[in-house]
Structure 1
């Protein structure tokens, strides 16, 4: 069964790289341009995992996680931040909101695949 990954990032180039990497490995990728769009997509695509940026318009990554975790269908869905932010305070806020992991940009495709594979136990 194909696993669905929700990729939320306001950078089209980051979304493209994530999509190319993950679809090449057999995942279905649903894209969202910011946290609010990510919530809308999460309601319809039922993701197996979520990758989200932190700094985005309309709704940032931590805000997305807080709202996503209020949705019953988010139970058990891993959420990993992909961000240039590495400040310990922001990492703590993300974990408190319900993030399961963190990847600092820039990252390589092999690391992304390893993290996603571990998240969805593929």
Structure 2
């Protein structure tokens, strides 16, 4: 598992391209915007499977496993929504990269250990 923070002007495909170099024998779930023959070939070269949401015009059918994995995606988006809106993940207070990283870790651990603390 990996995470990478970038500025808003960095294309997400570039980040995915870098992740596919480092991942081996993994399943990568991505939006339909990542549909690319080049990325699929790169993923399969390292034993990875790149699953992208199918477009309505696609002739390929999703397997039961594909559907189950795609149904997990909204959970991730809900989690990030909770981290941003309720726990203050997005802030402009830190003055350095280390400060932002410390803030992100603080928010994520606060979420993980919320039940143990309260």
TM range (shorter): 0.3 to 0.5
Structure with a larger share of its residues in helix: 2
Q: What is the TM-score normalised by the length of structure 2?
A: 0.36
Ranked by relative contact order (alpha carbons within 8 Å, sequence separation 6 or more), the top structure is 1
Q: What is the TM-score normalised by the length of structure 1?
A: 0.36
Structure with a larger share of its residues in strand: 1
- Which structure's CA Rg is the greater one? 2
